[in-house]
Amino acid sequence: MTTTAASTVPPRPRTWPKRLVWAVVFVVFTVLTCLPAIGGVELDFAAIARNWRNGADKLLQLLQPDWAFFPRTLQPMLETLQMALVGAASAALVSVPLTLWAARPTNPDAVTRGIVRTVVNVIRSVPDLVYATILVALVGVGALPGLITLFLFDIGIIVKLVSEAIDSSEHPYLEAGRAAGSTQGRLNRTLALPQNLPLFANQWLYVLELNVRISAILGIVGAGGIGRLLDERFGFYAYDDVSIIILEILVVVLIIEVCSNLLRRRIA
């Protein structure tokens, strides 16, 4: 005699009340941050409605690039690429020892690790425009302050991200090496660095992409590159020339990103 037991499926838990509560909390919090009476950000939608035609005119001018201006952008763009490449390469060399000193598995000494992390956090806490403004005042207008700014910016990103990635992963080979009596410096050179080299390479390529975009902003304060020309054309309200510069930056960034993705696949 065969019996068939009906399989009972537990009812699906109702999650929509919880989601609804979180959605309401998010909306209320967003609205409160837009109320100037309680210290929120003032959003003048009426001004946007009044001046929309002005913005539309500027967008229309940006959609009419002056291609005759393109040859003048080549030298500043070349300077921008040089700044981005030299800044990323210099940061790549310096970031290797700093990262290994900042990560717990590759530096068991809490004192030196804390010093390196504190220095890197201080570097990261200062905005790049502040660095560029101070360096322009110290060394003058040109590519040098932009290059130093990109170097400091890249150091902060690479050391922070790679050291945290090393901290969050397992490293049994380091423990085996210490048990065998090897020094930490030798372990870092022969085991930790080759093992984490793809992490370094990914961040090096990432900061190279960022440097091209950031250098366009740094030029506004006189730190060289295509940004100086961009600021100049903005000052003359030459939006057709600005459009050429923006398109050129976009194309260069896309090319660098494609090349970076190809290199990442080969490294992986």
Domains in the chain and their CATH numbers? 18-50 (no CATH), 69-267 (1.10.3720.10)
Rounded Cα distance between 247 and 77, Å, is 12
What is the distance between the alpha carbons of residues 133 and 169, in angstroms, rounded to a whole number? 39
User: Quick one: what percent of the chain has pLDDT higher than 90?
Assistant: 32
Using pLDDT thresholds of 50, 70 and 90, give the confidence band for residue 1: very low
Q: What pLDDT score does 122 carry?
A: 93
Q: Return the minimum-mean-pLDDT range out of 3-17, 133-147, 218-232.
A: 3-17
Does the global pTM surpass 0.75?
yes
**How far apart, in Å, are the Cα atoms of 23 and each of 15, 27, 162?**
12, 6, 35
Rounded Cα–Cα distance for residues 188 and 243 (Å): 48
Integer Cα distance of 249 and 98 in angstroms: 31
What does the pLDDT read at residue 237? 86
CB atoms within 10 A of CB 114: 12
DSSP state of 39: T
Would you call 68 exposed, middle or buried from its count of C-beta atoms within 10 A (0-12, 13-18, 19+)? Answer: exposed
What is the CA angle 169-170-176, rounded to 5? 150
